[in-house]
């Protein structure tokens, strides 16, 4: 049982007990002028406080969840851009050194922590192409194109992971990315 549910149950029990006590007080003060009005004011105040407390508690939970989502988004986008920058540097120098493979291994570990399954699947395909390219430690034009095409496909999955959750736009974005790479 989470904290919010426990808080709600305690509030509900307190409210019910308070209601019965104030109802008893209301009926007992039938002969005293203005006593029933004072009891009703107290009851209204308690209800208002209870509702406000529940709303503030829920708002705090929502704010915390929002902050967590923002931090995860920032972390994902930073890591994805780090990967793209790394691949760009490798392709620009037209060779793959042992340090590059070690860097890619650690990027792989980081990506495996935060990426969604679709990105991980496409990243696996990208790693296979990168591994095939790294056998001779040189990157020729054909291998560069193959890496770029694979990275573009991966970027489509990354974009979907970061920005949109609409299936139709996902397919359109994948098609546009592949089309753009083919035109280069």
Q: Are 86 and 167 in a shared domain?
A: yes
Angle (nearest 5°) at CA 93 between 88 and 97: 95
The domain boundary, picked from 65, 84, 106, lies at 65
List the domain range (segments joined by +) for residue 100.
70-183
The domain boundary, picked from 17, 42, 65, lies at 65
Quote the pTM value.
0.65
Q: Are 83 and 172 in a shared domain?
A: yes
Answer yes or no: are the C-beta atoms of 126 and 155 closer than 8 Å.
no
What's the number of domains the chain is made of?
Answer: 2
Give the pLDDT confidence score for residue 44 in this predicted structure: 81
Answer yes or no: are the C-beta atoms of 119 and 157 closer than 8 Å.
yes
Q: Are 125 and 52 in a shared domain?
A: no
Q: Are 104 and 168 in a shared domain?
A: yes
Give the pLDDT confidence score for residue 79 in this predicted structure: 93
3-class secondary structure per residue, 38-49: HHHHHHHHHHHH
The domain boundary, picked from 65, 83, 110, lies at 65
| Neighbouring C-beta atoms of residue 111, cutoff 10 Å | 20
Give the pLDDT confidence score for residue 75 in this predicted structure: 92
Q: Are 74 and 27 in a shared domain?
A: no
Lowest mean pLDDT among 40-44, 68-72, 135-139: 40-44
Answer yes or no: are the C-beta atoms of 156 and 173 closer than 8 Å.
yes
Region 33-39 average pLDDT: 73
Q: What CA–CA distance (Å, rounded) separates 44 from 114? A: 48
- Whether 118 shows a pLDDT value over 80: the answer reads yes
Q: Could you read off the pLDDT of 148-175 as tens digits, one per residue? A: 888 988 988 888 888 866 555 555 655 6
């Amino acid at each position: 049982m989470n904290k919010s549910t426990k808080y709600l149950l305690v509030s509900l029990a307190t409210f019910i007990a308070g209601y019965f006590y104030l109802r008893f007080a209301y009926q007992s003060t039938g002969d005293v002028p203005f006593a029933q009005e004072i009891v009703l004011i107290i009851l209204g105040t308690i209800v208002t406080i209870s509702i406000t407390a529940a709303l503030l508690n829920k708002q705090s939970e929502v704010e915390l969840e929002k902050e967590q989502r923002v931090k995860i988004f920032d972390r994902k986008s930073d890591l994805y851009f780090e990967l793209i920058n790394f691949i760009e540097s490798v392709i620009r120098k037209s060779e793959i050194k042992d340090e590059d493979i070690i860097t890619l291994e650690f990027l792989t570990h980081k990506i495996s922590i935060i990426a969604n399954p679709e990105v991980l699947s496409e990243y696996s395909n990208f790693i296979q192409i990168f591994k095939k390219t790294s056998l001779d430690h040189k990157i020729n034009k054909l291998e560069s194109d193959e890496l770029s095409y694979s990275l573009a496909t991966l970027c489509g999955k990354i974009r979907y992971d970061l920005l949109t959750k609409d299936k139709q736009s996902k397919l359109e974005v994948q098609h546009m990315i592949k089309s753009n790479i083919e035109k280069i």
